[in-house]
Amino acid sequence: MRDPRHDAVAKILVDYSTKVQPRETVQITGQIGATPLMLEIYKLCLERGALPVLHPSLPGAAYTFYKHAQDFQLKHFPKVSWYEVRNTDVFFSIGAEYNTKEFTNVDPKRLAMRKRAVKRIQDWRVNNTRWCLFEFPQQAGAQDANMALPEYEEFVYNSTIIDWETFAEELRRICDVVNQSKKVRIMGKDTDLSFSIKGMNCIAGDGRYNMPDGEVFTAPVRDSVNGHIYYDVPTVYNGVEVEGIYLEFKDGHCVKATAEKNEEFLKTMLDQDPGAGFIGEFGIGCNNKIQKATKNILFDEKIGGTIHLAMGQSYKENRGRNMSALHWDMIKDLRQEGTVLFDDRIFLQNGKIVM
């Protein structure tokens, strides 16, 4: 049976998030589990007069590559993909993972090697195209979130099919407060972290790039981060689940990293290049339709009452200068115990924004 929610999401992605225009080249990538949504996006792009191209991926293809590719293949720069991205106006990435843990036993050094090889393509896509990510609800995601699939579908669609124009205005007001501030201090369980955001630019995550969205984010001054932080929200990065991350910083650089689960993977990711041990982004979750952690960063970093700090690459729109193949958002829940100070004034207390 046709699900009208697919139509609603596709319309948001095409007409609100990316504003697809006639004769624009559009790439629609995704896993075959998301076929109904990908086809609806494809149809809408055709109706808008655009030039869409479908790139579905097969389950298990990425695992096969990382398991069997030789080093020269992992390091190979894909010229065809480079040509495509430079000739693309709009890019959709529709996730629908059938196994969110498939890279658990793949050597993390191989993952890092490939990420470095294709970084130029990723950077071009982020900085030169209009793009949007969406995670199509599948059984694997529902299992990670400890939900039945119908519950998970309701969770995803309820946090997506909303009035984004009105929500965007609210997010921009929060951004104004952040942009008027110079110093940040985060305090909570096993956490006391300070850094400067002077001269940085806060951006509203208003559904233009991620869907669902609902955050504001800026960048720390690279060498200003000092203190320690404990992340109590488990995270899955590159298909590897990591829990209980604890990081210490001195003059911007991470000088100690531990984890209660998959610590070696954490350390390998943070050591992959000179910028991976620095923070590239500071974000505040503002989407109160998302209240439960799901082990999916796309959703969890938006949870109202949380903050997240991304290790590695910063965004040029934030005026951040850190460079890395890594961009790994790590989330801390402040709803039960936590405070964020801007210029020594309380901004967020136990999950509630005070302005």
Quote the tokens at residue 195: 């850094």
pLDDT class of 140 with cuts at 50, 70, 90? very high
- Whether residues 77 and 117 fall in one domain: yes
User: Residue 252's CB: how many other CB atoms inside 10 A?
Assistant: 18
CATH number at residue 106: 3.40.1830.10
List phi, psi (to 5°) of 222. -50, -45
Total count of domains within the chain: 2
pLDDT in tens, 111-123: 989 999 999 999 9
Which pLDDT score, from 0 to 100, does residue 201 have? 97
> Is residue 229 located within the same domain as residue 289?
yes
Q: Are residues 339 and 210 in the same domain?
A: yes
Confidence of residue 100 (pLDDT cuts 50, 70, 90): confident
Return all residues near 180 (Cβ < 8 A) that are at least 6 apart: none
Mean per-residue pLDDT for 342-353?
94
pLDDT at 71 over 80: yes
195 and 244 inside one domain: yes
pLDDT in tens, 260-273: 999 999 999 999 99
Quick one: 114 and 187 in the same domain?
no
Which pTM does this prediction carry? 0.85
Residue 239's pLDDT is: 81
User: Are 37 and 71 in the same domain?
Assistant: yes
Amino acid (1-letter code) at residue 297: I
In this model, does residue 288 exceed pLDDT 70? yes
Q: Which domain holds residue 14?
A: 4-158
From residue 9, how far is each of 17, 53, 161, 173, 349 by CA, in Å? 10, 19, 7, 26, 33
Query: pLDDT category, 333, cuts 50, 70, 90?
Result: very high
* Predicted local confidence at residue 98, as pLDDT: 86
- Last-in-domain residue among 100, 126, 158: 158
Q: Are residues 191 and 276 in the same domain?
A: yes
Within this chain, do residues 95 and 226 fall inside the same structural domain, yes or no?
no
Percent of the chain's residues with pLDDT above 90 = 90
My answer on whether 121 and 257 are in the same domain is no
The last residue of one of the domains, among 120, 136, 158, is 158
Kindly state whether residues 40 and 110 are assigned to the same domain.
yes
Q: Where a domain ends, among 134, 158, 182?
A: 158
Residues 323 and 175 placed together within one structural domain of the fold: yes
In terms of domains, do 123 and 205 share one? no
Give the pLDDT score at 1.
Answer: 66
